[in-house]
């Protein structure tokens, strides 16, 4: 089935179908023109308040995805190094049998389930559910290598790990800092809002980045920093703010806990020390700090420059502290505008494709498991029995099934270590032996030479993706490798959550092309083969073998109280998509029409059952609005007090609240104390009693399946999760107040001595040997032999590992060669010319990449940048022939992760992709 464009045949009927761009998190509406089941053209989606008809290069060419010249056309398997066509039935049978064998031999945890931020919410949810039914928490997705540190850092500060405001709301800002993000390339349509805001408000737009990015080109001031020095820069700014009393004292008193601890750390960061470490002059930083603190509202935008670090979580927490100190959270034009990554990375994160939690942040605690077992209507004990027991190993205690069920799994960044390390080092029954990859590139995780070895060790590798991905060609696998053709989100329907938490429903544009199937059906078939389809799809309608996404969403609604995923019924979402034009560009609120009063896409939290018609929450923690209108407060998640000081808000509450001070989260017990239990209906009471059993008082807003508690909270104008203070001090993290720590491979041994990384420790079932590696590096004199800091990131034309976008001829034409940006001074020292071939050599594995030189002042002397979207070459060798015939992307090139090195954030296992060392030499 091929889709050719042609003249729009005006005599034949044309259907317009609305879906959402499947690339980045902006969530641009795509309007497809369909004739006779063929996608013939693309029109601007004028009505979308997010993109107002516009796109970037990727969105404007998504029709090519469904043209699918280079997609996997039918299931295949690798037999003695040759790709053979097989049927779907054969594929599912063989995969199921092999999974069973691995499970029998090594346990459930020996299978690593890698999911995708490309899934719809429904797909992500089913994948997480499938992993739970399989009996593992080793289920992960791109957020690990993307914003995991944001989620951890931000959630540990004020409650939820998400963008607080929206792209649109930036139009209200007077001062904007973009630090560690290059939205001109990574979130191009967001720049429509940023630049319009800059123009209308004559706003200050600071870009703080080691590279003079395309975003920086549009700033009013550019601040160049040395990669990996975000905390010194933040503390440097706060230093000026505290010294001059520019902080928002009222906000701090009412809504923030523990800023004094931050002050102590900040005092150490004098302008001189900041400049010594980061390279930023004190005067410049003072100006930025003063503007940010005084010309309000101010917002801080960040992305991968902050997160992809061994200090990622700490970075993010430092960023939050700048916002808190200046009172820039919880109102229009302010906030942590965290630009998320893939099209549905927010939703996939929310729905628990994560080694540390069940869907919607219920965690892995027994309460969470019991909540979901009630929603799923499966016995908790049955679920528990699916998990392995872990024997005592290497001095560590044994774990029961229950304990194992409540222990985080192995993250994406480390699965190959779990496959390669001695079994004793891996804190579970056995090594990883099999991997299921749904929608994830193979060139996007660091240390690719080790990944290759890990892949070679596996008994089974399944790649379920529209494209083969570099997983299909990396390493030297000869057998037991399967390719399952999955269709794109344009060939199925479902909802996806944009960066700003708006949930958008995408319509199916055309039927899946070739033999491809959607994720839903493949997951159903797998569950069926594995023997738990009946249980898993107990309350979900299945047509043929395809679960109905609307029904999946209804199940999410039934369980999604904790995050306010309960109000976004498929009907409401579809109505929003149909009437996008009713929503205001800046407030995102519908002025009239059937969705009048709603915020576009019912950004979560959207409290209560759909019938309650909560409008969603455009701006989180916004006390200027009634919670019924999307108002909120900081979420008290960490107890009610710490070291004798209250963690509840003081004298601050959301507009119209019946409680005019801080308050904890609502439980039935508290309802009784307030006398609000009488406001619950009989049915609601019955449900609460059924859930509570002999501890009814503990039933809370988050697990009350009746929605009664949330309904009454809305009536009373109180926020279901409570009204607390944001935490400047997060005592449960390795560095409760962020502390600067040099990258594992730093060019400054002097600073490593003063600011070393955290000591080695075990995390996520594995050792994190960061400190040893850092020390060994200095001893090996790496800064001398590899003097250039290597950072990596995005090009507007390609996405992620790039398999989809490098197969798109409209995009591939625009970037035909992998390259490294190198400063003219470094280039001329090596006799390197613009456009010439060079080797970029890494400090480990004798790693090297052959790429073209792009000589530019965009990077400072001593810094080099490479895009990470290339693959198909490895260490100088073109591996095109290893792709199944006809599926090789148009453009191939060296993956930067063939050169990147060791380094993991202690809180989330985030990899270090933004700072390592290299040397660059001329290639023949």
Ligand X SMILES: Nc1nc2c(c(=O)[nH]1)N[C@H]1C(S)=C(S)[C@@H](COP(=O)(O)OP(=O)(O)OC[C@H]3O[C@@H](n4cnc5c(=O)[nH]c(N)nc54)[C@H](O)[C@@H]3O)O[C@H]1N2
Q: How far is the CB of 132 from Mo ion (least distance, A)?
A: 24
Contact 435, 462 (CB under 8 A): yes
* Chosen residue from 341, 494, 717, 843 binding Mo ion by CB under 5 A: 341
CB of 295 to other proteins, least distance (A): 16
> Going by C-beta distance under 8 Å and a sequence separation of 6 or more, which residues neighbour residue 77?
83, 84, 86, 91, 94, 480, 481, 482, 483
CB of 160 to ligand X, least distance (A): 18
Cα gap 499→168, rounded to integer Å: 11
411 near 357, Cβ under 8 Å? no
- With CB under 6 A as the contact rule, the residue among 47, 248, 665, 803 that binds ligand X is 803
Q: Does 224 bind other proteins (CB under 8 A)?
A: yes
27 interacts with, out of ligand SF4, ligand X, other proteins, none, CB within 5 to 8 A per kind = ligand SF4
- CB-neighbour burial class of residue 637 (10 A; exposed 0-12, middle 13-18, buried 19+): middle
Determine the straight-line distance between the first and last CA of the chain, rounded to whole angstroms: 45
DSSP H helices, 580-721, are 668-674, 682-692, 708-716
Instruction: List alpha helices for 533-615, DSSP H.
Output: 533-536, 549-559, 570-578
Q: Which one of 106, 116, 173, 219 is in contact with other proteins (CB under 8 A)?
A: 219
Q: Evaluate whether 444 touches 474 at the Cβ level (below 8 Å).
A: no
Question: Applying CB under 6 A, does 58 fall inside the site for ligand SF4?
Answer: yes
Q: What is the DSSP letter of 786?
A: S
Is 792 among the residues that bind ligand X (CB under 6 A)? yes
The partner residues of 543 in beta bridges, in order of sequence, read: 546
Answer yes or no whether residue 149 interacts with ligand X by CB under 6 A. no
Q: Is 51 one of the binding residues for ligand X (CB under 6 A)?
A: no
In this structure, the strands spanning 29-35 and 15-20 are antiparallel
Q: What, of ligand SF4, ligand X, other proteins, none, does residue 181 touch, CB below 5 to 8 Å by kind?
A: ligand X
Q: Which of 464, 670, 811, 864 is the binder for ligand X (CB under 6 A)? A: 464
Is there binding between residue 220 and other proteins (CB under 8 A)? yes
Q: Residue 297 CB, nearest distance to other proteins (Å)? A: 19
Picked from ligand SF4, ligand X, other proteins, none, the partner binding residue 626 (CB below 5 to 8 A depending on kind) is: none
Interaction partner, residue 409 (ligand X, other proteins, Mo ion, none; CB < 5-8 Å by kind): none
Per CB under 6 A, does 801 bind ligand X?
yes
Identify the residue among 3, 18, 19, 27 touching ligand SF4 (CB under 6 A). 27
Q: Which stretch binds ligand SF4 (CB under 6 A): 22-30, 212-220, 306-314, 524-532?
A: 22-30
Q: Is 810 in the site for other proteins (CB under 8 A)?
A: yes
CB of 146 vs Mo ion, minimal distance in Å: 3
Q: Is the dihedral of CA 195, 200, 201, 202 positive or negative?
A: positive
With CB under 6 A as the rule, give the number of residues binding ligand X.
64
Cβ neighbours of residue 243 closer than 8 Å, sequence gap 6 or more: none
Q: Is 867 in the site for Mo ion (CB under 5 A)?
A: no
Alpha-carbon gap, residue 517 to 113, rounded angstroms: 19
- The strand ranges marked E within 269-315 are 298-302
Q: How far is the CB of 316 from other proteins (least distance, A)?
A: 23
* CB nearer ligand SF4, residue 187 or residue 579: 187
How far, in Å, CA of 519 to CA of 524, rounded?
Answer: 8
Of the CA atoms within 13 Å of residue 111, those in its CB half-sphere come to: 28
Can the peptide bond before residue 297 be classed as cis, meaning omega within 30 degrees of 0? Answer: yes
Question: DSSP H helical segments within 767-862, as ranges?
Answer: 770-779, 782-785, 809-812, 824-829
- Binding Mo ion (rule: CB under 5 A), the pick from 56, 92, 132, 146 is 146
Rule CB under 6 A: is residue 63 a binding residue for ligand SF4? no
Q: Judged by CB under 6 A, which stretch of 165-173, 197-205, 299-307, 636-644 contacts ligand X?
A: 299-307
Residues 190-219 that bind ligand X (CB under 6 A): 208-211, 213
Residue 140 contacts ligand X per CB under 6 A: no
Query: Which does residue 299 bind out of Mo ion, ligand X, other proteins, none, counting CB within 5 to 8 angstroms by kind?
Result: none
CA angle 257, 262, 263 (to 5 degrees): 110
Please tell me whether residue 811 binds other proteins under the rule CB under 8 A: yes
Residue with the closest Cβ to Mo ion?
Answer: 341
Calpha distance 427→134 (Å, rounded): 19
How many alpha carbons lie under 13 Å from residue 857 in its C-beta half-sphere?
A: 2
- 124 versus 709: smaller Cβ distance to ligand X: 124
Spatial separation of the C-alpha atoms in residues 272 and 281, rounded to whole Å: 8
111 binds Mo ion (CB under 5 A): no
282 binds, among ligand X, Mo ion, other proteins, none (CB under 5 to 8 A by kind): none
Residues 475-534 that bind ligand SF4 (CB under 6 A): none
108 burial (CB, 10 Å; 0-12 / 13-18 / 19+) is: buried
Nearer to ligand X, 191 or 832 (CB): 191
Question: Contact, 27 vs 50, CB < 8 A?
Answer: yes
Out of 109, 113, 222, 798, the residue judged to bind other proteins by CB under 8 A: 222
Residue the block writes with tokens 């001593």? 862
Binding track over 25-64 against other proteins, x by CB under 8 A: ----------------xx-x------xxxxxxxxxxx-xx
Among 571, 526, 518, 512, residue whose Cα is nearest residue 546: 518
Q: Can the peptide bond before residue 605 be classed as cis, meaning omega within 30 degrees of 0?
A: yes
Distance between CA atoms of residues 430 and 424, nearest Å: 8
- CA gap 608, 653 in Å, rounded: 20
Q: Which stretch binds ligand X (CB under 6 A): 111-119, 539-547, 548-556, 567-575?
A: 111-119
Select from 3, 19, 28, 665 the one that contacts ligand SF4 (CB under 6 A).
28
Specify the residue, 406 or 797, whose C-beta has the smaller distance to Mo ion.
797
Say how far apart CA 741 and CA 615 lie, in whole Å: 43
Give the one entry of ligand SF4, ligand X, Mo ion, none that residue 550 binds, where binding means its C-beta sits below a cut-off of 5 to 8 angstroms depending on kind: none
Q: What is d(CA 452, CA 475) in angstroms, rounded to the nearest whole number? A: 4
Q: Is 396 helix (H, G, I), strand (E, B) or coil?
A: strand
Contacts of 658 (CB under 8 A, 6+ apart): 716, 717, 718
State yes or no: residue 900 binds ligand X (CB under 6 A): yes
* Sheet with strand 15-20: strands edge to edge: 15-20, 29-35, 38-43
Q: Which does 549 bind (CB under 5 to 8 A by kind): Mo ion, other proteins, ligand X, none?
A: none
Per-residue contact string for residues 227-246; x = within reach of ligand X by CB under 6 A = xx-x----------------
Q: Are 577 and 504 in contact (CB under 8 A)?
A: yes
CB proximity list for 10: less than 8 A, separation 6 or greater: none
Which of other proteins, ligand SF4, ligand X, none does residue 169 bind to, with CB < 5 to 8 Å depending on kind?
A: none
Closest CA to 339 of 617, 50, 57: 50
User: Per rule CB under 6 A, is residue 194 in the interface with ligand SF4?
Assistant: no
Binding of ligand X at residue 142 (CB under 6 A)?
A: yes
Q: Applying CB under 6 A, does 187 fall inside the site for ligand SF4? A: yes
Interface with ligand SF4 (CB under 6 A): 21, 23-24, 26-28, 51, 55-56, 58-59, 187-189
Interface with other proteins (CB under 8 A): 4-8, 10, 41-42, 44, 51-61, 63-64, 184-185, 188-189, 191-192, 195, 198-200, 202, 205, 212, 214-222, 224-226, 279-281, 284, 796-797, 809-811, 813-816, 821, 824, 856-860
Interface with ligand X (CB under 6 A): 22, 24, 116, 118-119, 142, 145-146, 179-183, 185-187, 208-211, 213, 227-228, 230, 303-306, 308, 341-342, 438-441, 444, 464-467, 469, 486, 488-489, 519, 791-794, 796, 798-804, 868, 896-897, 900, 913-915
Interface with Mo ion (CB under 5 A): 146, 341
């Amino acid at each position: 089935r091929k889709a050719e464009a042609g003249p729009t045949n005006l005599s034949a009927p044309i259907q317009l179908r609305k879906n959402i761009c499947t690339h980045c998190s902006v969530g641009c509406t795509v309007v497809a023109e369909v004739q006779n089941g063929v996608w013939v053209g693309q029109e601007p989606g004028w009505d979308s308040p997010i993109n107002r008809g516009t796109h970037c290069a990727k969105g404007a060419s998504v029709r090519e995805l469904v043209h699918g010249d280079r997609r996997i056309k039918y299931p295949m398997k690798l037999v003695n190094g040759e790709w053979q066509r097989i049927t779907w039935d054969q594929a599912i049978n063989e995969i199921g049998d092999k999974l069973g064998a691995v499970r029998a031999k090594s346990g459930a945890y020996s299978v690593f389930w890698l999911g995708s931020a490309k899934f719809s919410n429904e797909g992500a949810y089913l994948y997480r559910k499938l992993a739970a039914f399989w009996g593992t928490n080793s289920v992960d997705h791109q957020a690990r290598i993307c914003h995991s540190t944001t989620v951890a850092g931000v959630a540990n500060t004020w409650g939820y790990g998400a963008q607080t405001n929206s792209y649109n709301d930036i139009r209200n800002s007077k001062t904007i800092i973009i630090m560690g993000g290059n939205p001109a390339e990574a979130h191009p349509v967001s720049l429509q809002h940023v630049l319009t805001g800059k123009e209308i408000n004559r706003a200050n737009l600071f870009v703080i980045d080691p590279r003079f990015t395309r975003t920086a080109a549009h700033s009013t001031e550019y601040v160049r920093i040395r990669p990996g020095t975000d905390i010194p820069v933040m503390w440097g700014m706060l230093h000026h703010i505290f010294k001059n009393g520019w902080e928002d004292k009222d906000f701090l008193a009412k809504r923030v806990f523990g800023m004094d601890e931050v002050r102590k750390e900040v005092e150490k960061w004098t302008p001189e020390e900041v400049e010594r470490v980061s390279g930023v002059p004190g005067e410049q930083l003072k100006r930025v700090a003063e503007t940010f603190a005084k010309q309000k509202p101010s917002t801080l935008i960040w992305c991968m420059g902050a997160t992809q670090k061994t200090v990622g979580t700490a970075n993010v927490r430092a960023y939050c502290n700048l916002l808190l100190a200046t009172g820039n959270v919880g109102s229009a034009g302010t906030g942590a505008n965290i630009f998320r990554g893939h099209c549905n990375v927010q939703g996939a994160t929310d729905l628990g494709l994560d080694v540390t939690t069940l869907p919607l942040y219920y965690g892995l605690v027994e309460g969470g498991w019991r909540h979901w077992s009630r929603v799923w209507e499966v016995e908790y004990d049955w679920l528990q029995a699916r998990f392995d027991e872990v024997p005592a190993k290497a001095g560590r205690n044994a774990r029961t099934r229950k304990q194992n069920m409540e222990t985080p799994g192995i993250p994406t960044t480390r699965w190959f270590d779990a496959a390669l390390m001695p079994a004793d080092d891996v804190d579970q029954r056995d090594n990883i032996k099999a991997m299921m990859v749904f929608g994830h590139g193979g060139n996007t995780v660091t240390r690719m030479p080790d990944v290759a070895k890990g892949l070679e060790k596996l008994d089974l590798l399944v790649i379920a993706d529209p494209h083969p991905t570099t997983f299909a060609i990396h390493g030297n696998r000869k057998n037991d490798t399967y390719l399952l053709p999955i269709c794109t989100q344009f060939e199925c329907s479902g909802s996806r959550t944009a960066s700003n938490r708006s949930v958008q429903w995408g319509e199916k544009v055309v039927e899946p092309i070739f033999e491809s199937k959607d994720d839903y059906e493949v997951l159903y078939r797998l569950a069926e083969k594995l023997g738990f389809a009946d249980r898993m799809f107990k309350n979900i309608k299945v047509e043929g073998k395809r679960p109905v996404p609307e029904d999946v969403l209804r199940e999410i609604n039934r369980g999604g109280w904790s995050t306010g995923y309960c109000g976004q019924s498929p009907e409401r979402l579809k109505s929003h998509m149909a009437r996008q034009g009713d929503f205001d560009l800046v407030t995102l609120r519908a002025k009239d029409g059937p969705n009048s009063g709603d915020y576009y896409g019912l950004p979560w939290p959207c409290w209560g059952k759909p019938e309650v018609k909560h409008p969603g929450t455009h701006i989180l923690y916004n006390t200027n609005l009634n919670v019924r209108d999307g108002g909120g407060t900081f979420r008290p998640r960490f107890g009610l007090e710490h070291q004798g000081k209250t963690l509840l808000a003081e004298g601050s509450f959301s507009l119209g609240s019946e409680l005019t001070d801080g308050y904890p989260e609502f439980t039935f017990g508290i309802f009784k104390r307030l006398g609000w239990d009488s406001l619950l209906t009989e049915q609601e009471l019955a449900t609460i009693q059924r859930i509570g059993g002999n501890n009814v008082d503990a039933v809370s807003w988050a697990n009350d399946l009746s929605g009664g508690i949330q309904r009454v909270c809305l009536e009373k104008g109180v926020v279901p999760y409570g009204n607390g203070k944001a935490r400047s001090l997060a005592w449960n993290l390795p560095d409760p107040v962020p502390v600067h720590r040099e990258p594992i491979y730093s060019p400054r041994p002097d600073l490593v001595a003063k600011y070393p990384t955290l000591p080695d420790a075990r995390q996520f079932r594995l050792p994190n040997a960061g400190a040893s590696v850092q020390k060994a590096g200095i001893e090996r004199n790496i800064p001398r032999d590899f003097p250039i800091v290597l950072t990596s990131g995005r090009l507007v034309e390609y996405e992620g590992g790039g398999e989809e976008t490098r197969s798109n001829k409209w995009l591939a034409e625009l970037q035909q060669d992998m390259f490294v940006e190198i400063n003219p001074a470094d280039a001329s020292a090596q006799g390197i010319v613009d456009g010439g071939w060079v080797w970029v050599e890494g400090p480990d594995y004798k790693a090297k990449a052959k790429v073209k030189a792009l000589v530019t002042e965009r990077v400072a002397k001593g810094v080099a940048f490479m895009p990470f979207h290339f693959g198909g070459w490895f260490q100088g060798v073109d591996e095109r022939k290893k792709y199944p015939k006809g599926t090789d992307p148009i453009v191939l090139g060296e993956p930067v992760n063939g050169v990147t090195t060791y380094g993991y954030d202690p809180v989330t296992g985030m990899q270090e992709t933004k700072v390592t060392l290299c040397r660059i030499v001329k290639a023949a």
